């Protein structure tokens, strides 16, 4: 290559950073294949896909292993927080993303979010909106009972998140103390740590409404949400309390959206 005097050659383009996608699954063989396909159909590359089978008894691991591009590990049932943490521990990427085994991504989910992070390198994470849909296997009676299909919601849910791994580590792992709400807890701690977040206006996640959604299966664990929000408020009050004085009022805290954990 001939280089003119006084002019430096253009720097070669930097390769796109690797994104690890963690998919926890517990008895989700029925929908897992579709979730994986939505990840492999992403317009962004490179990606690294890790499925963590959280003690399933329905052949979920066998579904994951049908995909040559997917790494699959199996653990004893420990809950979604522990499964996500296991996936993070196996991640190879500089960035982390998460998808529940019964949901699907829109094709440009990762590409849109990586573009947002490139536009402002000071951002730690990007989320997006959710559109809910009735699973095609629901009968008419179930569709009437399980409402919300077609609703578009701000996606305060793990399935919309793209976060730099270093930032995730600063906040710490997902809680394993409850059966639901692990993302709400993690996001609250991320805000307390001062992470910079962006909510994209576009829909990036399609959430399946079906008869065994986690919030339906774990109705008895809904008090976990109240416990998580109280813990966050207590931490904020303790941090803001003036020496020797009464605690300052806590700033507004985002309520958990109807997003399923």
> pLDDT tens for residues 162-221?
999 999 999 999 999 877 789 999 999 999 999 999 999 999 999 999 988 765 444 455
Q: How far is CA 136 from CA 99, 133, 143, 221, in A?
A: 20, 9, 10, 27
Place 13 in a pLDDT band, splitting at 50, 70 and 90: confident
Q: What is the mean pLDDT of residues 7-24?
A: 84
Pairwise CA distance, residues 88 & 72, whole Å: 13
Instruction: Give me the pLDDT at residue 254, please.
Output: 43
pLDDT at 253 over 80: no
7-21, 146-160, 181-195: the lowest-pLDDT one: 7-21
pLDDT at 245 over 60: no
Q: What is the mean pLDDT of residues 64-79?
A: 97
Residue among 257, 253, 260, 256 nearest 232 (CA): 253
Who's near 183: CB < 8 A, 6+ residues apart?
A: 156, 157, 158, 161, 174, 259, 261
Helix residue ranges, H only, the chain: 29-40, 60-64, 80-90, 109-119, 140-145, 165-171, 182-192, 214-217, 223-240
Separation of first and last alpha carbons in the chain: 55
Most confident stretch, 137-141, 145-149, 184-188, 254-258: 184-188
1-10, 63-72, 136-145: the lowest-pLDDT one: 1-10
Pairwise CA distance, residues 44 & 19, whole Å: 9
Instruction: Give me the pLDDT at residue 236, please.
Output: 57
Residue among 94, 80, 107 nearest 205 (CA): 107
Q: What is the mean pLDDT of residues 224-251?
A: 53
Q: What is the mean pLDDT of residues 122-133?
A: 97
Q: Which two tokens stand for residue 77?
A: 């049932």
Instruction: Give me the pLDDT at residue 152, please.
Output: 96
pTM (predicted TM-score)? 0.81
85-89, 112-116, 236-240: the lowest-pLDDT one: 236-240
Chain CA centroid to CA 226, Å: 20
Instruction: Give me the pLDDT at residue 176, please.
Output: 93
Query: Per residue in 112-125, is it b (16+ CB within 10 Å) or e — as a string?
Result: bbbebbeeeeebbb
Residue among 84, 76, 49 nearest 182 (CA): 84
pLDDT at 20 over 60: yes
Residue among 84, 103, 113, 158 nearest 19 (CA): 113
Who's near 73: CB < 8 A, 6+ residues apart?
A: 50, 51, 52, 53, 86, 90
Domains of the chain: 19-240 (3.90.550.10)
């Amino acid at each position: 290559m001939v280089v003119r005097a006084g002019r430096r050659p253009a720097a070669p383009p930097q390769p796109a950073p690797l994104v690890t996608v963690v998919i926890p699954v517990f008895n989700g063989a029925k929908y897992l294949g579709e979730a994986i396909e939505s990840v492999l159909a992403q317009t962004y590359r490179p990606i690294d896909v890790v499925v963590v089978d959280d003690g399933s008894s329905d052949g979920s691991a066998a579904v994951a292993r049908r995909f040559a591009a997917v790494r699959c590990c199996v653990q004893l049932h420990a809950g979604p927080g522990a499964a996500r943490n296991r996936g993070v521990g196996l991640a190879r990427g500089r960035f982390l993303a998460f998808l529940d085994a019964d949901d699907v991504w829109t094709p440009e989910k990762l590409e849109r979010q990586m573009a947002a992070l490139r536009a402002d390198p000071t951002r730690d994470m990007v989320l997006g909106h959710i559109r809910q849909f009735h699973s095609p296997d629901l009968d008419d009676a179930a569709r009437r009972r399980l409402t919300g299909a077609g609703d578009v919601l701000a996606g305060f849910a793990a399935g919309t998140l793209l976060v730099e791994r270093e930032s995730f580590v600063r906040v710490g792992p997902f809680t394993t103390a409850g059966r639901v709400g692990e993302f709400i807890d993690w996001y609250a701690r991320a805000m307390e740590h001062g992470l910079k977040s962006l909510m994209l206006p576009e829909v990036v996640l399609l959430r399946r409404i079906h008869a065994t959604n986690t919030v339906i299966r774990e109705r008895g664990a809904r008090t976990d949400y109240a416990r998580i929000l109280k813990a966050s408020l207590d931490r904020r009050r303790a941090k803001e309390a003036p020496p020797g004085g009464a605690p300052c009022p806590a700033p507004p805290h985002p309520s958990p959206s109807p997003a399923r954990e």
